[in-house]
Amino acid sequence: MMETTNLMFAVIAEVKDNDKPLYLHNLNFARLMDDIVVPYQNKDPFFIDGVPTKSENLKRIKIIQQKESFAELFDDLHNRLRLGMSSGRRVPAEDYQVKLYALFREAGEDVTSQVIKAYDTKIKPSIADYLPKREELISGALKVFIEAMKILGRSI
């Protein structure tokens, strides 16, 4: 497969007529492109957190590059959600959305513009050939993304 790094991504979105933010996490670059970026940019329907949507229904979307600490912190949040009431570490269900959003900020970096730039540079010009050339196009977009992050001084 084309993935040469362990980069993992998450998506936070707010959709019109839905009062709670939608989340996806643990997406590799290829899945991020297939499931979110390509349909979003082409104005095709796609799903976020099981909710069908289109780009015109989004109030906002943010793509996060997950840091190494993300998985551990995510597991910890869910463990604390399941703890009994007597535990001092319990996270009440009503605080879940706030804590999850904070986790995405703490253990992730907003890379929305770099991902869209990689799409615009490598995939968009050949979108008609996306399926037959999928691996080549995603691999090229990943290289553009990595280079953009290096230019910004971000470690990959």
pLDDT for residue 19: 86
Residue 10 has pLDDT above 80, yes or no: yes
Angle between helices 70-82 and 96-106 in degrees, nearest 10: 160
Within-domain flag for 101: yes
pLDDT for residue 3: 42
The pLDDT tens digits for 138-153 are: 999 999 999 999 998 8
Within-domain flag for 46: yes
The pLDDT tens digits for 60-105 are: 999 999 999 999 998 888 887 777 555 566 777 788 888 888 999 9
> Once rounded to an integer, what is the mean pLDDT over residues 132-138?
96
Per the structure, the count of domains in the chain is 1
State what percent of residues in the chain have pLDDT above 70: 91
pLDDT for residue 61: 96
Within-domain flag for 42: yes
pLDDT for residue 86: 56
What does the block give as tokens for 156?
């990959």
Mean per-residue pLDDT over the chain, rounded: 89
Nearest to 23 by CA among 141, 105, 79, 119: 105
- The reported pTM is 0.86
Dihedral sign of CA atoms 79, 83, 88, 91 in order = positive
Within-domain flag for 14: yes
Within-domain flag for 140: no
29 to 3, 61, 83, 95, 98: CA distances (angstroms): 8, 16, 33, 30, 26
Residue 1 has pLDDT above 50, yes or no: no
